[in-house]
Amino acid sequence: MSIRPVQRLIKAKPTREGAGVHLRRAFGFGSTAEFDPFLLLDDFRNDIPDDYLAGFPWHPHRGIETITYVLAGTVEHGDSMGNQGVIGAGDIQWMTAGKGIIHQEMPKGDTLGRMHGFQLWANLPARLKMTAPRYQEVKAGEIPQMTDDDGTSVRLVCGKFWGKTGPIDGIAADPIYLDVSVPPGKRRSLPVETTRHAFAYVFAGSGKFCNASGPLAVPTESVGWADTAPPAEADNRSLVLFDRGDEVTVQAGDDGIRFLLISGKPLQEPVAWYGPIVMNTQEQLQRAFLELREGTFLNAEA
């Protein structure tokens, strides 16, 4: 087994989205080739209602999938197809926008005013960008939760892991989406297929993601990581991007560590991207915005 080297360790940056929602962006809206097939990860954990209640009013999507994972509070959603519902703590909504959808997402806090969760954007391959929109909504109790002998626990949102299969299916990039908790002081290795791009996002506790199992021929960063020493500790709101290998190893800190571990097969296709519309060419992108202006966006043909 070869431990994946840490390619980058960065902190999520404050930003605003929707009608003024305060959140932290781990990555997105730049060159995301190293995260392919993923485009963006937002951490919308917030304990101040005035900073999130304005929500994300009606807006379009095309060519992508949005994956919303709620930890606390609720998100009410509705769309141009007449769908509506609420997802709460522990629930997942996986929306395939396909050829086009207009929807809104309105967060509400729990009794303590907390609105916690994440939204991940996954790209669609060219052959599926104009597919029919669909939802996969999964309640907390439907998500497999596994605990190993050392106390490490994993919630399996999507993909196959430790002999189980997550409830989300039919996703082109074949992603694996895990919510991992490692107890204090434990060292844990988790398998990740070599052909996948993979990253971790820490949201509780802290720990060190160990570097390569052998010396690196070329350092991935000019910060002295070309040996076997672990990189700096990753704590709350830290994004860890991994290089190639077939396992990820973490040493949990004194309070343990909880993180998302997400991997997917790269699409390796050109990306033409502006806001919530992600296509393969500028011509396709311009056509989408022309359709929005002319009112034909939802009736577009492949």
One digit per residue, the tens of pLDDT, for the chain of length 302 reads 799 999 999 999 999 999 999 999 999 988 889 999 999 999 999 999 999 999 999 999 999 999 999 999 999 998 888 888 899 999 999 999 999 999 999 999 999 999 999 999 999 999 999 999 999 999 999 999 999 999 999 999 999 999 999 999 888 778 999 999 999 999 999 999 999 999 999 999 999 998 755 444 333 444 444 444 555 789 999 999 999 999 999 999 999 999 999 999 999 999 999 989 999 999 999 999 999 999 999 987 76
Helices within the chain (DSSP H only): 282-294
CB-based contact 45:75 (threshold 8 Å): no
Q: How many CA atoms lie within 13 A of 195 on its CB side?
A: 7
Query: 260: which strand partners?
Result: 179, 201
**Taking Cα atoms as reference points, which of 18, 41, 16 lies closest to residue 202?**
41
Q: Which amino acid is at 109?
A: G
Output the pLDDT for position 30: 81
Three-state secondary structure call for residue 244: coil
Residue 62 carries which DSSP code? Answer: B
Half-sphere exposure of 30 (CA within 13 A, CB side): 7
